[in-house]
Amino acid sequence: MSEAKVSAASATAARQARRGRPPKSAQERDESERRQEIVRAAARLFRERGFAATSTRDIAAAVGMQSGSPFYYFKSKTALLHTVMHDGMEQAFASQQRALQALSSDASAHQLLRVLVRNHLEVLLGPDSDFIPVMLYEWRSLSAEQHADVAALKDRYEAQWMPVLARLHEARALRAHPRVARLFIFGALNWSAKWYRPGGSLSLDELADQALLLFAGDE
Amino acid sequence: MSEAKVSAASATAARQARRGRPPKSAQERDESERRQEIVRAAARLFRERGFAATSTRDIAAAVGMQSGSPFYYFKSKTALLHTVMHDGMEQAFASQQRALQALSSDASAHQLLRVLVRNHLEVLLGPDSDFIPVMLYEWRSLSAEQHADVAALKDRYEAQWMPVLARLHEARALRAHPRVARLFIFGALNWSAKWYRPGGSLSLDELADQALLLFAGDE
DNA sequence: CCTACCGATCGGTAGG
DNA sequence: CCTACCGATCGGTAGG
């Protein structure tokens, strides 16, 4: 169990203990939804303005609360940032897992890379896509323990790319070293969060096509 | 003349008027060097901690000044950020110009791309390389006019890549569309500012080799 | 450049 | 969750 899960679970336990009843009561559900609203608003504001430039008052106002109320749900502004990053990475990993499992077991390395790239662009640029950009750009504001937790999730996510890149490298479709290629490829894709505009001339499918052409000469 | 040059020039003029004598006196030189110290310290701190998380007091302390003294040289914290970005882009462009002019006029498109990539990595990761990362990540803190000024410099810098990418595309060495390829390539290279460690196992020459292999199948 | 200062804002808390 | 609040910090300035 990750440290973040531990801390999230203990926070829930603390609220349960305070009320002295099991989870999933109507009130527990309301509270959990309210908590999620705060996380989503924080993700959006952290992305738009940056962590340091976003006040907890901004976040409170975005969900119609008073200035001190977010601290009923999160013990600090940094804990809220950590939750945004942790939840974002968990969802991204789950999405990547589903995408890979939907492929047949004899899928080519090119097909695998296409699925990984397409899913990553979805996670990065699709609907509700504030979490990963925050994760990418706000590392420095995490404590050492929070940093280690998010890094572990990120490593697990990126590790799924390595066998695919290694196969492409052996087949000479990918000429660079797989480890450096991974860093460059993530850089290229992640940067699109800075310039891509949904609804513009390029769909996510077309963007994935272009990435495949650039990295693996794919057609 | 760019807006930033205008404002920098008028700031200098204001200081001259205050003293009522021409530039380049010993005192003017000292003042200009002191100003440069502030800019370099600000670049380093803005890169390490982010603009919003760096106080003007931090910057003052880094150059041994009292808390209010940076405002003798810069009218606001944002003006200092703008100077960091503007000066960084001017130097990067000058460096790129020199690198291109050192090539013979019949250089191949592969050679041109190699020089552009190698120079960009130098600007990004070499000594005194805090300016461009700040430029890349702190756009949102600029005013509209400052933003337009830096964008113009950045456009001029990136424009020099386009004919090279177009030639490679025509030769089928670059399969993606040149415009999208440019965005992906800059993303891949710029991201290295987040993970590259000088003195590690990879030199800048080797990093450039890997980038060329990845994007243009170069050897 | 320094001294001394101001008004605004911020993260966070006690008590209900 | 809200009310009311605190101590710390911040960008910036007047006056020398």
User: pLDDT (tens digit, 9 = 90+) per residue, A170-206?
Assistant: 999 999 999 999 999 999 999 999 999 999 999 999 9
Interface probe with A: pick from B191, B206, B209, B215, most Cβ of A within 10 Å = B191
In this complex, do A176 and B141 lie within 8 Å of one another by their Cβ atoms? no
State how far the Cα of B201 lies from the Cα of B30, in Å rounded to an integer.
40
Q: Is the pTM of this model over 0.85?
A: yes
Q: Give pLDDT, residue B24.
A: 62
**CA end-to-end span of chain B:** 42
Protein residue ranges contacting nucleic strand D, Cβ under 7 Å: A 30-31, 34, 60, 64-69, 72; B 54-58, 67-68, 71, 75-78
Sign of the alpha-carbon torsion through B140, B142, B146, B149: negative
A12-21: pLDDT as tens digits? 333 433 334 4
- Nearest nucleotide by C1' position to the B69 CA atom: C1
Interface probe with B: pick from A135, A172, A191, most Cβ of B within 10 Å = A191
Sign of the alpha-carbon torsion through A59, A65, A67, A73: negative
State how far the Cα of A137 lies from the Cα of A49, in Å rounded to an integer.
11
Q: Are A9 and A32 in contact (CB under 8 A)?
A: no
The answer for residues whose C-beta is within 8 angstroms of residue B212's C-beta and 6 or more apart is B110, B113, B114, B117, B218
Q: Are A187 and B188 in contact (CB under 8 A)?
A: yes
**DSSP 3-state assignment of B23?**
coil
- Average pLDDT over every residue of B182-193: 98
- Nearest nucleotide by C1' position to the B54 CA atom: D10
Rg (C-alpha) for chain B, rounded Å, is 19
- Is residue A124 exposed (0-12), middle (13-18) or buried (19+ Cβ within 10 Å)? buried
In this complex, do A183 and B189 lie within 8 Å of one another by their Cβ atoms? no
**CA end-to-end span of chain A:** 41
A104-153: pLDDT as tens digits? 999 999 999 999 999 999 999 999 999 999 999 999 999 999 999 999 99
Q: Give pLDDT, residue B176.
A: 97
**Nearest CA-CA distance, residue B123 and chain A, Å:** 17
> Is residue B37 over pLDDT 90?
yes
State how far the Cα of A110 lies from the Cα of B61, in Å rounded to an integer.
53
CA–C1' span, B66 to C1, in Å?
9
Q: Give pLDDT, residue A219.
A: 56
Considering only CA atoms, which of B93, B216, B90 is closest in space to residue B164? B216
- Is residue A102 exposed (0-12), middle (13-18) or buried (19+ Cβ within 10 Å)? exposed
Structure tokens at A107: 């899928």
